[in-house]
């Protein structure tokens, strides 16, 4: 009988340890990558929701000359008023904003959640064909962490008074992480949209519950305001709506930074009217439309730029005082030069409208072409048998058959 001997052995402890270490490193990398992917996904979904909500608010205001009120934040799906604007709802938080009219009292600001159903059905008649934005959907009322977007609006700007919308009546303050005002005029923001971020402090869940309360943050905020002490700024302003004693219309324009607790993780978008004196009416021109009938007369308001810098229309980086990207149609233009798209080959407007020597022909000559900001002339009768008009007659035209066309005045 023949015996065959084979060596058999398993993993040693050292080999097993190495395998486990390698496996751990691989899984750590996978988990870190997955964590980053999930965070980026939540952030992207949040920014999409905020952007679409901002666009819907803008269109809503243009169409209805007002902003919608917030929705009741405590309602859950299935409630008839879920996601609908409700100005008189007792669950909306009222805050105090800027004193707009100078009477010593701050204007009221309402705080709730985004009224996404109102954007989808502004008339509340069950017909969504008149939605304010074709891109807005119900999910845009939520952030990427599954919480409702907070929405605050100046109450006076929700009034349904036609032709009476006051763009200067915004009453909301916006500050940065250093509590520094971010607006040229403090407290003029119309409305604010907020995602309370990954920690969800101050946010309402889809079911209408607090995702995480702000009690400890509110207490710190109150101490900060009373004593002027320096406290961590994590969530200070965007969470104090939970405490009526410190509810004000101040919101923190947050900077997301996971590595520094002194920065909060909220995402804030605010709407403010960009009132400027960049353009001003300078004159009114009246035109009779070439007829004696006054019914077809019209007027054109002349607008002038008061800046003196480079102004662009359709061009984000204007290179000249008035840089227009595209075509322009006007009844009258006042300009120094008319140039090509590259800003070259400019023609002074005086060439067309003024008394420029290069645009005139000498006596007995006619214009044959206009090129490079000057006219080219030729003797109308240089190579023809035709003679000028007889003395006492005036040239009114030239025929290629008979020559000069003359009339007796």
Q: How far is CA 157 from CA 68, 69, 113, in A?
A: 9, 9, 17
Instruction: Report residue 202's pLDDT band, with 50, 70 and 90 as the boundaries.
Output: confident
Higher-pLDDT residue of 250, 75:
75
Does the structure show a pLDDT above 60 at 299? Answer: yes
CA-based torsion, 233, 237, 243, 247: positive or negative? positive
pLDDT at residue 128 in the model: 84
Looking at the chain, the whole-number percentage of residues with pLDDT higher than 90 is: 25
For the cut 60, the answer to whether the pLDDT of residue 2 exceeds it is: no
**Residue 119 contacts residue 131 (beta carbons within 8 Å):** yes
Between residues 73 and 2, which one has the greater pLDDT?
A: 73
- 269, pLDDT greater than 60: yes
**Predicted local confidence at residue 279, as pLDDT:** 63
- How much is the average pLDDT of 219-234? 47
> Model confidence at 298, in pLDDT bands (50, 70, 90)?
low
CA diameter of the chain:
147
Place of tokens 């015996």: 3
CA distances from 317 to 278, 324, 336 (A): 17, 11, 21
Quote the CA–CA distance of 384 and 388 in Å, as a whole number.
11
Residue 232: pLDDT above 50? Answer: no
State the average pLDDT over residues 334-343.
74
**Mean pLDDT to the nearest integer, 391-405:** 78
Average pLDDT over residues 390-401: 79
Q: What digits encode the pLDDT tens for the residues 346-384?
A: 887 777 766 777 788 887 787 877 777 778 888 766 666
pLDDT above 60 (res 217): no
Cβ-Cβ contacts under 8 Å for 185 (sequence gap 6 or more)? none
| Range with lowest mean pLDDT among 73-77, 182-186, 200-204, 287-291 | 287-291
Instruction: Give the tokens for residue 159.
Output: 């009034």
Count CA atoms closer than 13 A to 386's CA, side-chain side.
19
Model confidence over 84-124: pLDDT tens digits? 999 999 999 888 899 998 888 899 999 999 999 999 999 88
- Domain chopping of the chain, boundaries: 46-272, 279-334, 361-407
Segment 115-139 shows an average pLDDT of 90
CA neighbor of 340 nearest in space, from 369, 311, 372, 368: 372
Measured between alpha carbons, how far is 324 from 312 in angstroms, rounded to an integer?
6
């Amino acid at each position: 009988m023949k015996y065959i001997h084979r060596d058999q052995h398993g993993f040693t402890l050292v080999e097993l340890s190495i395998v486990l270490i390698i496996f751990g490193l691989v899984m750590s990398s996978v988990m870190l990558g997955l964590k980053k992917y999930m965070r980026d996904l939540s952030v992207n979904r949040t920014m999409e929701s905020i952007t679409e909500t901002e666009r819907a608010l803008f269109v809503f205001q243009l169409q209805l000359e007002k902003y919608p009120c917030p929705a009741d934040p405590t309602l859950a799906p299935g409630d008839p008023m879920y996601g609908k604007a409700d100005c008189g709802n007792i669950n909306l938080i009222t805050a105090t904003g800027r004193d707009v009219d100078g009477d010593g009292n701050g204007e009221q600001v309402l705080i709730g959640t985004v009224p996404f159903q109102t954007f989808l059905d502004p008339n509340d008649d069950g017909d969504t064909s008149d939605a304010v934005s074709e891109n807005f959907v119900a999910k845009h009322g939520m952030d990427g962490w599954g919480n409702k977007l907070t929405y605050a609006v100046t109450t006076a700007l929700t009034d349904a008074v036609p032709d009476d919308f006051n763009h200067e009546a915004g009453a909301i303050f916006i500050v940065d992480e250093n509590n520094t005002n971010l607006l040229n005029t403090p407290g003029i923001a119309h409305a604010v949209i907020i995602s309370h971020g990954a920690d969800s402090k101050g946010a309402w869940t889809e079911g209408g519950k607090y995702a995480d309360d702000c009690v400890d943050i509110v207490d710190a905020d109150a101490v900060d305001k009373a004593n002027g002490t320096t406290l961590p700024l994590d969530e200070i302003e965007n969470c104090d709506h939970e405490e009526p004693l410190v509810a004000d219309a101040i919101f923190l324009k947050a900077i997301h930074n996971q590595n520094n607790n002194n920065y909060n993780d909220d995402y804030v978008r605010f709407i403010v009217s960009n009132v400027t004196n960049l353009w001003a009416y300078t004159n009114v021109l009246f035109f009779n439309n070439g007829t004696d009938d006054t019914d077809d007369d019209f007027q054109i308001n002349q607008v002038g730029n008061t800046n003196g810098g480079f102004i662009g229309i359709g061009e984000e980086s204007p290179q000249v005082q008035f840089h227009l990207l595209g075509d322009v149609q006007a009844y009258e233009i006042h300009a120094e030069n008319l140039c090509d798209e590259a800003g070259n080959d400019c023609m002074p407007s005086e060439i067309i409208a003024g008394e420029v020597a290069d645009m005139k022909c000498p006596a007995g000559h006619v214009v044959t072409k206009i090129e490079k900001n000057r006219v080219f002339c030729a003797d109308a009768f240089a190579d023809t048998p035709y003679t000028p008009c007889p003395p006492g007659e005036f040239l009114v035209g030239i025929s290629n058959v008979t020559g000069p066309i003359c009339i007796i005045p």
